[in-house]
Amino acid sequence: MANFLLGSDIFILAMVALGLCRILWGPAAADRMMAVQLLGTGGVAVLLLLAVAAKMPSIVDVALMLALLAAFAAVGFVTSASRAKTSIPEATDPG
C-alpha cells in the first residue's frame, strides 16, 4: 500500500511540475493564478499521501496550512483584480 501511495506522490509531483511551466509562461494573470492554485492543491495532495504512507500524522497539519495559504492567495488575487477593474477614473477638466 505504501508503494502505491508513494507512486501516486511521484505522479502528482510530475503534474505539479507541468503546472510550474504554466506559471512561468502563462499569458495572463488569471492563468498564472490557476497554476498557483494547482501547486497548492497538488502540494496538499502530496503531503496527505505522504502522511499516510509514512505514518506521520503531523504532516497533515502542514498540508492544512498549505491549503489555508492557497485559499488566502486566491482571495487576495480576486480582491486585487476587482479593485483594478473598479478604479475611479481621473477627473478631466472640461475647459
Query: pTM of the predicted model, to two decimals?
Result: 0.75
Domain ranges of the chain: 2-83
Per-residue pLDDT, 39: 85
* Separation between Cα atoms, residue 52 and residue 12, nearest integer Å: 15
Confidence (pLDDT) at 35: 79
- What is residue 95's predicted lDDT score, i.e. its pLDDT? 53
- Region of poorest pLDDT, from 3-17, 18-32, 70-84: 18-32
Q: Tell me how far CA of residue 43 lies from CA of 23, 62, 71, 81, in angstroms.
A: 15, 10, 13, 25
36-95 confidence digits (pLDDT tens): 788 889 999 999 999 999 999 999 999 999 999 988 988 888 888 788 776 555 555 555
